[in-house]
A and B are shown apart, each in its own frame.
Chain A
């Protein structure tokens, strides 16, 4: 059980990092090539999803490094 929770924490944290990179990439792409992302993806929804994960990480101990 404890192992599963630990793995879920890793997944959430990695997913957050990945989504942060994607959002930054999408933002730069929109600046360089307008509408190229917004035509295919609803960035507002992605941003809200990213924010929810961020809040979960901050409010829980997902972001804390495992004790040695």
Chain B
């Protein structure tokens, strides 16, 4: 009997020891005391950490010639996936194995998507992703012909060699119109020599829905903007309004408006609310204003004393009037979309007509140069209620247009026609192993949006469409994720100090 009790105690001690080991092992995996952990996803079996790519409509998982292993082909832009991590990390390195579908024997088609990028969601309100390059064929091709200097992942390409180093280039910058950048910020001062301030008040009476950003310019004058907002109350979210003012990418002023208190989707329009931003004694230069709101908020009117108000990358015209809307853009290619059946129309884009004959579908148009040397084109809409986007800026008058951004090396850049002589990029081209390419993408995730332990990612391939005749795409074979962050030792040190 005593022997049985002794045996029982021994078994109990052993099993509880094993249990504690299991719990300890799980805690070890959850805390990641070393600060580094890797996860893999090869599309053969679902991963507990890396989600499947979505939406399914932009993927082709069948009939791909890739031997015995499972692969997935991206046929539409963009696609998304999420990464679950047991704790927050500082940096992630994505190791992506892929190839172009055109390299497949069965799908030899012309490839017209030179840029492939991946990025993390950094702001959920305005769905902003921080994109980093996987591959940029324009840079790869130009670097075969031009002089190339590579210093600490910074690539400088010169048509004719004039600079001996990247530093030499940065200290003696050539004219801005000869430079194109990619994944690199030159932080150049942008000044308008012919600009003179005035006291005229400009009013933009067109209602704009959701978030947007615009550039403005001041020179020895007060920065003065007044925004009239209202809430559509079409969703249950907390509809706050934040207006951020940036100078040289640094946030210098913020204004905030609370929600109207109606958290129900009663579709009752709220009362009008105003935000006024008036700041004196600011240095001369370009300023960026960001209206950070969700889709429920409509900007009914913008009043300003600034002559320049140029909307970045596009804007969403709310369906408020049945009258013509005229806009100006320096974009080379624009995209239009409407969600309202009564807003289907023919849009005049420069010398082209663009027919919007379907709701919830994006229509693209290459903007023609209207027979003049000016790179600014007019867009005329029969009525509003259309979302407009492009690779440049948009404004409601030609004089208000302002684009301080340097040309970007993307699918819209024509190195010869645009007169580009220099390209600066922070870019590491993919390496080729057998038939697969391997790209290492380093992303800072300290400010990335994380919900329920998940980081959201986007794979962007501009120009890749499902509904075109081309059977092009990107075939993914494997995604490996290497997280790195503070170790337990660093964390303890931080807490002690």
Interface pair B453/A34, CB less than 8 Å apart: yes
Chain B interfacial residues counted at CB < 8 A: 21
The answer to the question of A49 belonging to the interface, with a C-beta cut-off of 8 Å to chain B, is no
Q: How far is the CB of A43 from chain B (nearest CB, A)?
A: 12
A residues 21-41 near B (Cβ < 8 Å) are 21-22, 25, 29, 33-41
| Pick from A6, A14, A35, A41: contact of B84, CB under 8 Å | A35
Residues of A within 8 A of B4 (CB): 6-7, 10, 66
Residues of A within 8 A of B452 (CB): 34-35
Q: What is the CA–CA distance of A34 and B26 in the complex, to the nearest angstrom?
A: 13
Q: How far is the CB of A59 from chain B (nearest CB, A)?
A: 21
Q: How far is the CB of A31 from chain B (nearest CB, A)?
A: 13
Q: How far is the CB of A17 from chain B (nearest CB, A)?
A: 8
Q: What is the CA–CA distance of A21 and B22 in the complex, to the nearest angstrom?
A: 12
The answer to the question of A11 belonging to the interface, with a C-beta cut-off of 8 Å to chain B, is yes
Q: What is the CA–CA distance of A38 and B23 in the complex, to the nearest angstrom?
A: 13
Residues of A within 8 A of B453 (CB): 34-35
Known: A7-B7, A35-B84, A39-B49. A18 touches B15 (CB 8 A): yes
The digit string for B23-44, where 1 denotes a CB below 8 A from any CB of A, is: 1001001100000000000000
Interface pair B23/A25, CB less than 8 Å apart: yes
| Chain A residue with Cβ nearest B47 | A39
| Pick from A14, A22, A36, A66: contact of B22, CB under 8 Å | A22
Interface pair A36/B19, CB less than 8 Å apart: no
Residues of B within 8 A of A21 (CB): 19
Known: A34-B453, A38-B48, A39-B49. A18 touches B19 (CB 8 A): yes
Q: What is the CA–CA distance of A50 and B1 in the complex, to the nearest angstrom?
A: 28
The digit string for B265-300, where 1 denotes a CB below 8 A from any CB of A, is: 000000000000000000000000000000000000
Q: How far is the CB of B172 from chain A (nearest CB, A)?
A: 53
The digit string for B1-28, where 1 denotes a CB below 8 A from any CB of A, is: 1001001100110011011001100100
| Chain B residue with Cβ nearest A29 | B26
Q: What is the CA–CA distance of A41 and B22 in the complex, to the nearest angstrom?
A: 11
Interface pair A36/B26, CB less than 8 Å apart: yes
Residues of B within 8 A of A10 (CB): 4, 7-8, 11
| Pick from B15, B26, B48, B49: contact of A15, CB under 8 Å | B15
Residues of B within 8 A of A33 (CB): 30
Q: How far is the CB of B190 from chain A (nearest CB, A)?
A: 47
Q: What is the CA–CA distance of A40 and B29 in the complex, to the nearest angstrom?
A: 9
Q: What is the CA–CA distance of A11 and B29 in the complex, to the nearest angstrom?
A: 29
Q: What is the CA–CA distance of A36 and B25 in the complex, to the nearest angstrom?
A: 12
| Chain A residue with Cβ nearest B48 | A39
The answer to the question of B174 belonging to the interface, with a C-beta cut-off of 8 Å to chain A, is no
Q: How far is the CB of B27 from chain A (nearest CB, A)?
A: 9
Q: What is the CA–CA distance of A11 and B10 in the complex, to the nearest angstrom?
A: 10
Q: What is the CA–CA distance of A25 and B26 in the complex, to the nearest angstrom?
A: 12
Q: How far is the CB of B186 from chain A (nearest CB, A)?
A: 42
Residues of B within 8 A of A25 (CB): 23
The answer to the question of B86 belonging to the interface, with a C-beta cut-off of 8 Å to chain A, is yes
Tell which of A14, A38, A41 has the most Cβ of chain B within 10 Å.
A14
Which residues of A does B touch, CB under 8 Å? 6-7, 10-11, 14-15, 18, 21-22, 25, 29, 33-41, 66
Question: Could you list 19 further interchain pairs (A-B, Cβ under 8 angstroms) beyond the known A14-B15, A18-B18?
Answer: A7-B4, A7-B7, A10-B4, A10-B11, A11-B11, A14-B8, A18-B15, A18-B19, A22-B19, A25-B23, A34-B453, A35-B84, A35-B452, A35-B453, A36-B86, A37-B26, A38-B48, A39-B48, A40-B29
Q: List 17 A-B residue pairs with CB atoms under 8 Å apart, sorted by A's residue number.
A: A7-B4, A7-B7, A10-B7, A14-B12, A15-B15, A18-B15, A18-B16, A18-B18, A25-B23, A34-B453, A35-B452, A36-B26, A36-B86, A37-B26, A39-B84, A40-B26, A40-B29
